[in-house]
Amino acid sequence: MDIYEEVGRFYLHYRGEKCLIGKSEEGRDLYAFFVGEKKYPVGVCQCAMHAREHITARLGMEQIARGLSEGGAWVIPLVNPDGALLCERGADSVSSRYRAFLRGLNGGDDFSLWKANARGVDLNVNFDARWGTGAKNVRFPAAENYIGSAPFCAAESAALRDFTLRVRPQFTVSYHTKGGEIYWKFRQPPWRRRRDMRYARALSAYTGYPLRDAPRSAGGYKDWCILRLKIPAFTVEAGDDSLSHPLGGDALEDIVTRNAGALAVLAKELR
């Protein structure tokens, strides 16, 4: 069973509140699940925005299955289903008219290190937060780092934006791999930086991941949440940096152990 089928089956059997937030470029459903209670604070947790990091979708499902002891959260386990299937199954997983295009971008049939969506847009540089100013940004379709033709040009990033604006969370968490570190800054004014540092330290203490800074990156979901919504937002790079992409099932136990209760930790701090 591929990761998209796994999340779809999980959605079918989930008894709690759930919804579709949109569709991918290839028309696949983007699933969201609510856990906990709808009283302050409520967060959004999104996973598997980068194709080769689809192990985080399984972390998202674990968090949903275990529930939330503090606050509430919407969890979106698989923001980039098309990219994840490219990584798992190759170019035959996408529409026939895009297969040669994607193979050309990728330089062959092995998509195991692919990060972008099915149109060669890197979703985590496609948000309107100093879009196009990141040090590694490129301006042509690619396996990674392509900013797109405009902010939110990708169906997946636009769907995540619209859903986030609809639910108006008090915090967000984005799960990526790998490195075992947490990013939490994006040009906050001093008073918000002091506020957000408190929450970042709590998340760091729980996961054991150190806090890091990435001053030359831009256009990410975390960045947009901090800049536009003015809320605490975190990118968690789960998994030890000694591991190789894409992380396999042998890495999942440690990732789940470190992160299963992370959303509740943040909710408790925000109360």
pLDDT of residue 8: 98
Q: Where are the domains of the chain?
A: 3-270
Instruction: Flag residues of the chain having pLDDT under 70.
Output: none
Amino acid 66: pLDDT: 96
The pair of structure tokens assigned to 125 is: 């540089």
CATH number of 3-270: 3.40.630.10
Q: Model's pTM, two decimal places?
A: 0.97
Residue 68 confidence (pLDDT): 95
* The predicted structure's pLDDT at residue 95: 97
With residue 172 as reference, give the H or E element that holds it.
strand 171-177
What is the secondary structure of 11-25 as a DSSP string?
A: HHH--S-EEEEEE-T
pLDDT for 143 equals: 98
Q: Which of 86, 130, 113 is nearest to 223 (CA)?
A: 130
